Amino acid sequence: MTSPKNELYFGDLPISVNEEFMRTTLLGEYSGISSVVLKKKSNRDKCFAFVNFDSQEVANRVLQEMNYTKLDGFPIRISRSDPETRTILRSIVGNLFVKGLDESIEASQLHEAFSNFGDVISCKIPMSNKNGIWVSNGYGFVQFRNPDDAKRALRDLQDASINDKKIMIQECVKMPKKSSEETYTNIYAKDFDPQKYPNEEAIRPIFEEYGNITSIKMMQSKPDILGFSQPLPFVYCNFQNHDSAKNAAENLNGKVEEGKMWSCGRMMSKYERQQYLIREGAKVANDNYERTKGRNLYIRNFDENVEDEQLKEFFSQFGEVESAIIMRDRETKASKKFGFVCFTTKESAERAIAGTTEIEFQGKLLYVNLIQRKIDRMNNNNANHAAKPRSTPKINETFDQLPKKAQESQVVTPLAQENDILRKELETKGFDEKRIRDLLKNISYDQIKRIVNDPNTHARYMAYIMNHQ
C-alpha cells in the first residue's frame, strides 16, 4: 500500500494539463510514479492533481526541485498531501499575510526568504493576467508547519525589506465573506434614449462621471413582443471599483431624460435575478392585497369570448367598479376564463357575492370569491374537500390482546361545517350526488357562507336551483 508520505499535491496547474503530460513531460525525469489523479472543476482556468510515488525519496526530490515551476507563465505549487499537512493547509494557523511586495518578487524567492525560520509548507503570490502576462498583485501568503516558527518570523521581520522595498507582515485572518451587494463592479442600464445614445462611445461619458471604467458593451435586443417594433438597447458597464459602480447605479436609476426613465442596477446571475423577481413579485402582490383587501373579487365560470367591459358592466349593478380584468395568455391573448373585479367599497363587494348566487351572467352563475392569499386559499380548499372519517380497520383475532389506538377526532372548520349544512339540505331537496358536487364546485367559499348564514340569500339561491333542475 502506498504511504501518505509518498503523495504530493500539485496546485495551480493549467486547465489543459492531462495525465500523460504529468507523467512524461512535467515529471519525465523521475521514475517510480505509481498514480496520477487530476481534478478539474467547471468554470475554472486552473486544476490540481495528486501524484503518488513508489518511494518517499523520489517525492522529496520532486518537492525540492519542481516546486514553483512555471507552466504557461504561472508558478505551480507543490506540497505534501499527508493528513497532517492537509489539515494545516485548510486552517489559517501559522499562516502569514505579506504585503508591499515588489512585482519582481516570485513565490520561490519569498519561500526561500521565510524558510530560514522553519518548514514552509505553502507559499503563494496571487497574480493577474495583464495582456497575456502574469503579474504579481503585490502580496502573498506564507504558511509554516509549526505556528511558533510563524510567530518568530512575524517578530523578527517587522522592519524587513525585500529588493529595497519595505514589506509588511501580519497574521492571516479569515475575513467574513462579503455579499455581492458589497463587492459588485459590473452594472447594467436600459430604457435610455437609443437615438441620443446609439453606441458605447456615445454613452460612455455618462458612466465616466462616476469613476474609471474597465469595459463597456452595448447590446441590441429585439424581444418577441406583440406590437414591439423598435430595438431595445441595454448596456453593461464594468468599473474599476465597487464604490464607483454603486454610485453610478444609484444615481442613474430613475434618471429622467428625453421623456424616458433610466433603469440601472448591479448585474446579477440568473439565479440571483430569479430570486430578486420572486421577492419583488411577492412584495407587490402583498401590497396590492392589503390595498384592495375586502373589495377585490376573483371571478370564474364565464365563456372565453367575454371582454373586460362586459364583466365591468355586469358587476356595476352592485356598486362602483374600480377595475375589471380578464386574464389572458401572453402570446395568443386567449382568455383564461377567469378574472378579477375590484370595487371601490367593501359593501359593493359583499353585495356582489350575495347577488351572484341567483343573478346569471350570460346564462350562468358566476363563481365569485374575495381575493385570498395563497396559504388561506389552500386552507379553505382543504376544508371544503375535507376527507370523510376513515373506517376502523379490521384487526386479526390473534392480536386482540393488543391495545387499540384511539381514533383521532376530526377537526371541523367553519367552512367544512357550512359546506356540510348546504350539502345535507340539497340532499333533502332530492338532488343526487353528482348534481350536488357540480353545484358546490361552482360556488365559492364566500358564496356558501352567504347562502347558509343569510336567510334572504339562502331563499333566493334555493329558488334559483329548484327552477333550474
pLDDT score recorded for residue 389: 46
Asked if residue 137 belongs to a domain, the reply is: yes
pLDDT score recorded for residue 297: 95
- Single pTM value for the model: 0.48
Find, among 273, 210, 198, the residue nearest to 237 by Cα.
210
- Same domain, residue pair 362 and 224: no
pLDDT score recorded for residue 130: 82
Which residue is it, cell 350539502?
Answer: 423
Asked if residue 58 belongs to a domain, the reply is: yes
pLDDT score recorded for residue 2: 64
pLDDT score recorded for residue 409: 44
Asked if residue 306 belongs to a domain, the reply is: yes
- Same domain, residue pair 299 and 362: yes
- Same domain, residue pair 226 and 100: no
Taking phi first (over 0 means left), then psi (-120 to 50 degrees means alpha), and beta for anything else, what does residue 12 get? left
Is 51:22 a contact under the CB 8 Å cutoff? Answer: yes
DSSP for 20-43, please give it: HIIIIIISTT---EEEEEEE--TT
Helices (H) and strands (E) in the chain, counts: 16, 24
**Residue 187 and residue 253: Cα distance in Å, rounded?**
11
Dihedral sign, Cα of residue 255, residue 258, residue 263, residue 265: negative
Residue 463: burial class (beta carbons within 10 Å; 0-12, 13-18, 19+) = exposed
- Same domain, residue pair 10 and 131: yes
Boundary (domain end) residue, out of 371, 386, 412? 371
Find, among 429, 437, 416, the residue nearest to 458 by Cα.
429
pLDDT score recorded for residue 1: 53
Q: Calculate the alpha carbon distances from 451 to 87, 423, 425 in Å.
A: 72, 12, 11
- Same domain, residue pair 25 and 94: yes
Residue type, 170: Q
Question: For the chain, how many structural domains are there in total?
Answer: 3
Find, among 346, 302, 354, the residue nearest to 327 by Cα.
302
**Which structural domain range is residue 252 located in?**
180-267
Give the pLDDT means over successive 10-residue stretches in the chain (469 positions): 83 93 93 92 85 94 94 92 91 91 92 94 90 88 95 91 89 80 90 90 94 88 47 84 94 90 88 84 88 94 94 96 94 93 95 92 92 74 51 45 45 67 88 89 88 90 84
Is 185:240 a contact under the CB 8 Å cutoff? Answer: yes
- Same domain, residue pair 79 and 131: yes
CATH of the domain at 252: 3.30.70.330
**Residue 345 and residue 465: Cα distance in Å, rounded?**
29
Boundary (domain end) residue, out of 352, 371, 390? 371
Helix or strand holding residue 124 (H, E)? strand 120-124
**Residue 325 and residue 333: Cα distance in Å, rounded?**
13
Asked if residue 456 belongs to a domain, the reply is: no
β-strand partners of 245: none
**Residue 372 and residue 369: Cα distance in Å, rounded?**
8
pLDDT score recorded for residue 369: 92
pLDDT score recorded for residue 388: 45
- Same domain, residue pair 54 and 186: no
Asked if residue 257 belongs to a domain, the reply is: yes
C-alpha grid cell, residue 29: 525525469
